Amino acid sequence: MTNRLRIALAQLNPKVGALDDNLALAKSALNDAVAAKADVLMLSELFLTGYFPDDLLFKPEFVSDAISAAKSLVAATKGLQTTLVLPTVWIEQGVSYNAVVVAENGEITAVRYKRELPNTDVFYEKRYFTAGPLPEPVMIKGVSIGIPICEDIWHPWVSAQLVRLGAEILLCPNGSPYWTNKQHVRKELVRARVAEDGVPMLYLNQVGGQDELVYDGASFAIEPGDKLAFQGKSFEPDFIVSDWTYEDDGWTCVSGEVTPLTDIDAAPWRACVLGLRDYVHKNGFKRVVLGLSGGIDSAIVAAMAVDAFGPENVHCLMLPYRYTSETSLRDARDCAERLGVRYDIVAIGDPVDGALTELVPIFGDRPADLAEENIQSRMRGVMLMAVSNKLGSMLITTGNKSEMAVGYATIYGDMNGGYNPIKDLLKMQVYHLAAWRNAHKPDNCLGPEGEVIPQAIIDKAPSAELRPDQTDQDSLPPYPVLDAILEAMVEQERSIAEVVASGFDLALVKRIEKLVNIAEYKRRQSAPGPKLSPKAFGMGRKYPITNGYRDESAS
């Protein structure tokens, strides 16, 4: 048995389904581990397939190709002193497992299976995998090491079993997505396991955006005595090397760097930017286009896009109609100039008026209402999609969670787009983040410093400007009130009676509940966006469109 170990964790950004690209990333990490003279290299959960591959796992050829890629990586360890810990899909006697393969000198020395399969709003691993038995440790360089996989550490008996059978160190590969305060939740979890079991745990997380999920990295290790041994970067790849020595009381980290976590204000911004960047790039686009209305939502999305891609790859269009104010025209141009993006004005007056003229025989003398207003929004969507098609830029959309909750958005209009970076931000969170971004330029962002969102946009009353002198509060309660009700009703799943008891008007709460329910069909057709909270519409909150239930708790 050795009394020294150098352990490398590859905190990387794989792409689901991209087996060749992920294999190349893994081989590069293996080369880095060899150059660092690491005894052990660990990759994150299901690294070669990307996490999580969903129903690709029902495709036999995909699974076969993934296992072939894993064997290729195992073969690449021949002649090396580094032991590889490779999480991968694995088939044993016709049964599919979420597994870890341990490889030394070109050979597989051990295979271990994930015991506890998550079955939550995000991952449904029981749909694809069979749970393995309680795992046993593996021997690496003469050291007994336990490898609980992700969900396993949420169930104390898995780690306890490994330590009871002699594990001296626990290596935990993960695919753990970000949402608010998640980094601290993970750390408290690992602290609990280490305190219970008395051995250090090294926690590796992947990084990057994958559809609606954002993985934030921030890998770390905790030693007995509640010592943070090291901590990796947040929201960007990292290659983390730590040195460990064995003494009478067990293994201790003698060399490990602690990178501070991204703070609680910066984290949502960086998650939105990373989710947007990876969604666009991983789907083969280089540039984005969006409508810049002079309002807060489009301004903050434009700033996020510039932080993600640089100003040269962001194209903003103002699409005015007769109700567009001079203030909005001024503010949109000001925002575009501060961000340094291409800015064009494409008036929609003639096409909207032409459509209204053609509809006269059908509309007759009925009074103007939402139908006419929505033509404006949908015409803007047509123009933006035309620019997207012609110039090859992905259209991104700009509706916040408050609007999406109550249906204050036009389907096939302002909801058009391939991705929505603020889909899981309530309106007041949008205001908070805009003010924060004006005072900070986050790490790994490409936009300018300073006040990138004009204060005039932050200060003015929000309006869709679809009729004269319109404001959002013509149709909705003030956003601080709306957001508080939505926080209770959506995020906390509180009943109408409970929401009313906290100080809100019964009629208003019932109205908001009705709007939330009837807008489900719109949300089902909306663009994906990064999941920032446990109850993000889509992956975090799945309600039926056709839904006859009504909360009568306060009737």
Instruction: Read off φ and ψ for residue 345, nearest 5 degrees.
Output: -110, 125
Q: The tokens of 418 are what?
A: 């391939």
Q: Which of 15, 45, 116, 423 is catalytic?
A: 45
Residue among 407, 404, 456 at smallest CA distance from 434: 456
Known binding-site residue numbers for ATP: 291-298, 398
Element (H, E) at 112: strand 107-113
Q: Which of 15, 114, 233, 510 is catalytic?
A: 114
- Whether 45 is a known active-site residue: answer yes
Q: Are 45 and 150 spatial neighbours (Cβ–Cβ below 8 Å)?
A: yes
Q: Where are the beta strands (DSSP E) in 322-464?
A: 342-345, 394-395
Residue among 326, 319, 311, 329 at smallest CA distance from 351: 319
Known binding-site residue numbers: 176, 182, 291-298, 374, 398, 403, 522
One-letter amino acid of 39:
D
- Whether 150 is a known active-site residue: answer yes
Q: Are 424 and 537 spatial neighbours (Cβ–Cβ below 8 Å)?
A: yes
Residue among 329, 318, 299 at smallest CA distance from 421: 299
Residue among 178, 246, 235 at smallest CA distance from 39: 246
Helices (H), ranges, 76-179: 156-164
Q: Are strands 288-291 and 207-210 parallel, antiparallel or unpaired?
A: unpaired
Known binding-site residue numbers for L-glutamine: 176, 182
Question: Residue 158, exposed/middle/buried by CB under 10 A (0-12, 13-18, 19+)?
Answer: buried
Element (H, E) at 279: helix 266-282
Quote the DSSP letter at residue 541: B
One-letter amino acid of 85:
V
Q: Which of 15, 116, 125, 150 is catalytic?
A: 150
Name the β-bridge partners of 238.
11
- Whether 227 is a known active-site residue: answer no
Q: Are 170 and 147 spatial neighbours (Cβ–Cβ below 8 Å)?
A: yes
Residues involved in catalysis: 45, 114, 150
